[in-house]
Chain A
Amino acid sequence: MIARRLFSSDRRIAVTIATLLAAAVIVPVLNLAVPAESAFHVPSYVVALAGKYLCYALLALALDLVWGYCGILSLGHGAFFALGGYAMGMYLMRQIGARGVYGNPDLPDFMVFLNWKELPWYWLGFDHFWFAALMVMAVPGLLAFVFGWFAFRSRVTGVYLSIITQAMTYALLLAFFRNDMGFGGNNGLTDFKDILGFSVQASETRSALFAASAVALALGVLVTWLVVGSKYGKLLMAVRDAESRTRFLGWRAENVKLFAFTLSAMMAGIAGAFYVPQVGIINPGEFDPANSIEVVIWTAVGGRGTIVGPIVGAIAVNAAKSWFTGALPELWLFALGGLFIASTLFLPRGIVGLWDRWQQMRATRAVPAEGKAAARTEPQPAE
């Protein structure tokens, strides 16, 4: 039933999901089965890089659910991503077992180094993948729920809300830097060996992680599309556009926001969990407020308030970043800032909006273009 609705009502979403699922199959095949000499061979480093982009795309999609659809400009979504990443990192640390530098079967290297005698209680359970997988969603979800409970109930909105989300990720940054927190301090968690018993270095595992990231993103698209298309989704946008009106209709705007915020944090956590085994490290730097701001830029460039926009934005901006940091590293930050300013000024709906306009112009070349374009409403920017 969902599939029928997908293909009839929203071709763009269907195409996106199909593309991701196809990539999940084709890229691993081109990496593993096609010989390295062939022009069609995809080298392993590209697989890893592309896998990383997909995680960023899922993070941007999560942000867009709250920013684009509900007007909550979170400048702390990197925190949820990092927490998901840490949960996965803890599982990967436990998989090392006695193969660490100190050969201690019970404790990760950094704890041995700190002279700790036993595993802290909050590391218990992370030997099991299922437990870690649960925590990947539960920890960011719980933080978002508690944070949102207080913030939305006290009706903190707009810039003030953005500032406290930023403060949240900064506080976590400082906390995770401390050695006595028990998350590896400055160095974070790294030197991973296996995931589910497979070597994280093996190209088969890397391909599998890429495929899993693509499937996770496809699921993220599907879930977001279902949520946004439901009556709740309409309510979400109504809260974005006229919050007090929804209250006078009897809706609890704070609960509307809280659900989206929590769901979004869980999606961000999942993105972080797929990211960590592919880059091989998670450290407090992931909580850097600047990271969260970058996610906002990807989303704005791609087109907020759309489902495809944040994905396109995350991939395009990060591809540009990879190129820039190779070719002109000192210019990257200027380019990023310029991109953000340009997209806010000239492309309120980002790349996707530009594409839509171009499609419309093509479709209505005979008819004067303005009428059609004006009739189409665009989401109002958040205050």
Chain B
Amino acid sequence: MSMSGTILYLDGVSVAFDGFRAINDLSLVLDRGEMRAIIGPNGAGKTTMMDIVTGKTRPDSGEVFFDGQIDLTRHDEAEIAMMGIGRKFQKPTVFENHTVEDNLLLSLKGQRSIFPALFYRSSAADRRRIDDILGVIRLGARRNEPAAGLSHGQKQWLEIGMLLAQDPKLLLVDEPVAGMTDAETFETARLLKDIAETHSVIVVEHDMHFVRELGVKVTCLHEGSVLSEGTLDFVSSDERVVEVYLGR
């Protein structure tokens, strides 16, 4: 496999926690500009895979490359984020005591050093960007309210908004529609498809309607490695996948 042209390249990655192999010889390649859906039963290692890519967990073995040449295993979370990988957590994680607007302000792409933050003056460009994102995530009316007061679905959207503000090259989105109504789920699929026009995206989701809505290539993980890969129809008719989901 050639690495150039890939935004993310995992080869033979393994990680064990106290002897338990959460990721087992996992290989996965994402092309630049591609959106991929990842499915798999609970405990398949989907979140752990994201932990490895974002520098939270170091793999025991294997290669993890970003953008064709950057070895991610040599960098920590903040460095990886600055290189252009953004992440939405499975459990929505926003700054609860901060207003919706401040959550976005802290996520805005740009300087990440202490002194510029100390002397930061809000610029017209930043305000415009925040306004735009607030429009996209439909939280304009609540911009000055603390994020703690948002509903579960709204927090998911705010976190997606924070990703947008960060403007990464690659977005890792862990279970974005958990706790959403059908209408919200549909909206989220639309939003992610929009984002995928200009970004590379990995979406982990259990909701098959949502995955179908995305209409992209699907990878099914099981016990820490790839079980099946292809179109949703192909993957969902794969006997091994059916067995994993039903035969337990």
Contact = CB atoms under 8 A, between A and B. Distances in A.
A231 B97 contact: no
Interface string A248-272: 1111110110010000000000000
Interface in A243-297: 244-253, 255-256, 259
A101 interface: no
A250 B107 CA distance: 9
Interface in B91-129: 93-98, 102, 105-107, 112-114, 117-120
B118 A232 contact: yes
A380 B97 contact: yes
A244 B56 contact: yes
Given A248-B77, A248-B87, A249-B162, A377 B96 contact: yes
A11 to B, nearest CB: 19
B244 interface: no
Nearest to A237: B97
Contact of B93 (A232, A245, A251): A245
B66 to A, nearest CB: 14
A250 B82 contact: yes
Nearest to B146: A377
A79 to B, nearest CB: 24
B188 interface: no
B108 to A, nearest CB: 9
A367 interface: no
A248 B81 contact: yes
A256 B112 CA distance: 10
B112 A250 contact: yes
A379 B97 contact: yes
Interface in A7-24: none
B106 A238 contact: yes
Nearest to B119: A230
Contacts of A375: 149
A251 B95 contact: no
Contacts of A241: 95-98
B106 A234 contact: yes
B54 A251 contact: no
Contacts, number: 82
Interface residues of B, number: 32
B152 to A, nearest CB: 16
Contact of A251 (B87, B94, B112, B149): B112
B78 interface: yes
Nearest to B96: A241
A60 B242 CA distance: 62
Contact of B78 (A235, A237, A252): A252
A237 B119 CA distance: 17
What does DSSP make chain A's interface, helix, strand, loop or mixed?
A: helix
B42 to A, nearest CB: 22
B119 A242 contact: no
Contacts of B148: 377
B166 interface: yes
Contacts of B89: 245
A50 B186 CA distance: 64
Given A234-B105, A237-B98, A242-B95, A250 B78 contact: yes
Contact of B106 (A235, A252, A380): A235
A319 to B, nearest CB: 32
Contacts of A227: 118
A251 B113 CA distance: 8
A297 to B, nearest CB: 24
B224 interface: no
A232 B146 contact: no
Contact of B96 (A235, A259, A380): A380
A295 B76 CA distance: 36
Interface in A174-233: 227, 230-232
A117 to B, nearest CB: 46
B176 interface: no
Interface in B70-86: 76-78, 81-82, 86
A380 B78 CA distance: 24
Contact of A249 (B96, B98, B107): B107
A245 B118 contact: no
Given A237-B97, A242-B93, A247 B81 contact: yes
A231 B120 contact: yes
A377 B118 contact: no
B77 A232 contact: no
Q: Which of A227, A255, A377, A380 has the most CB of B within 10 A?
A: A377
A248 B54 contact: yes
A250 B111 CA distance: 9
Contacts of A247: 76-78, 81
Nearest to A234: B102
Contacts of B94: 242, 245
Interface in B5-64: 54, 56
B162 to A, nearest CB: 7
Contacts of B105: 231, 234
B72 to A, nearest CB: 13
Contact of A234 (B81, B98, B162): B98
25 contacts: A230-B120, A231-B106, A231-B118, A232-B118, A234-B105, A237-B95, A238-B98, A241-B96, A242-B95, A244-B56, A244-B77, A245-B89, A247-B76, A247-B77, A247-B78, A248-B77, A248-B81, A248-B87, A249-B162, A251-B78, A251-B112, A252-B78, A253-B78, A375-B149, A380-B96
